[in-house]
């Protein structure tokens, strides 16, 4: 028999503890993500995997907004964020900070997600694109690698918030091995 655990039984850390905790060696870059619910979901997923920072770029909304908060459930307070006018400016800054730039995009010579193995000791900036146009070509051009999520149906894309969850889960899982 299964009994659902109460929130008080989950052993979650506080926002202050999250801020002080060691983070996974990844940051997210959201390139012109238009849906505030997708942005809120990105915050919540980053909190779940202890990703410390999100770059919100271009038309991506920034907290505080009711729509972001509705999906983030308060994760916009635990995960740090910065706004950049363009995703290219964000990846340029992150490269200067020593990050390897990885766009999640369907591109020639992209690495299939299941084949990607992050190098120990390296930090990665994961770029996710607009719901219709994807990651801008200039950002893809500035990337060190592209990751593609294999898909087998009739549609050519996944919702960006779903893609973020799939990629982070896969990368975090691979780092645990």
Beta strands in 105-158 (DSSP E): 111-112, 123-128, 145-148
What phi, psi does 70 have (nearest 5°)? -60, -40
pLDDT at 36: 98
User: What is the C-alpha to C-alpha distance for residues 10 and 24, in angstroms, rounded to an integer?
Assistant: 20
Evaluate if residue 175 carries a pLDDT over 90: no
Closest CA to 57 of 130, 141, 107, 124: 130
Q: d(Cα 128, Cα 147) in Å, to the nearest integer?
A: 10
Q: Which residues on adjacent β-strands are paired with residue 124?
A: 26, 100
Measured distance CA(96)–CA(142) in Å, rounded: 13
Residue 66: what pLDDT? 98
DSSP 16-59: HHHHHS---SEEEEEES---HHHHHHHHHHHHHTT--EEEEETT
DSSP run (H or E) holding 90: helix 87-96
pLDDT of residue 21: 96
Q: Which CATH class is domain 20-176?
A: alpha beta
Band of pLDDT at residue 173, cut at 50, 70 and 90: confident
Residue 41 or residue 156, greater confidence: 41
Mean pLDDT of 149-167: 96
Strands of 111-112's sheet, edge to edge? 80-84, 53-57, 26-31, 123-128, 99-104, 145-148, 111-112
Find the mean pLDDT for residues 31-53. Answer: 97
Query: Are 55 and 26 spatial neighbours (Cβ–Cβ below 8 Å)?
Result: no
Taking only the tens place, the pLDDT of each residue in 99-116 is: 999 999 999 999 999 999
Q: What is the mean pLDDT of residues 150-163?
A: 96
Indicate the Cα dihedral angle 80, 54, 117, 167, nearest 10°.
Answer: 120
Domain ranges across the chain: 20-176
Task: Tell me how far apart the alpha carbons of residues 59 and 34 are, in angstroms, rounded to a whole number.
Answer: 6
pLDDT in tens, 47-88: 999 999 999 999 999 999 999 999 999 999 999 999 999 999
């Amino acid at each position: 028999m299964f009994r659902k655990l109460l929130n008080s039984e989950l052993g979650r850390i506080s926002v202050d503890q999250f801020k002080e905790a060691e983070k996974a060696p990844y940051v997210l870059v959201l390139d012109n993500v238009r849906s505030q619910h997708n942005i809120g979901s990105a915050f919540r997923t980053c909190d779940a995997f202890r990703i410390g920072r999100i770059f919100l770029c271009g038309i991506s909304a920034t907290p505080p907004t009711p729509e972001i908060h509705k999906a983030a459930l308060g994760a916009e307070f635990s995960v740090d964020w910065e706004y950049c006018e363009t995703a290219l400016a964000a990846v340029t800054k992150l490269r200067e900070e020593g990050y390897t730039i990885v766009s999640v995009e369907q591109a020639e010579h992209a690495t299939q997600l299941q084949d990607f193995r992050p190098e120990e000791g390296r930090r990665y900036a994961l770029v996710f694109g607009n719901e219709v146009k994807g990651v801008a070509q200039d950002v893809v051009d500035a990337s060190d690698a592209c990751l593609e999520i294999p898909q087998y149906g009739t549609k050519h894309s996944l919702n960006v918030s779903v893609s973020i969850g799939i990629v982070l889960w896969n990368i975090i899982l691979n780092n645990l091995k």
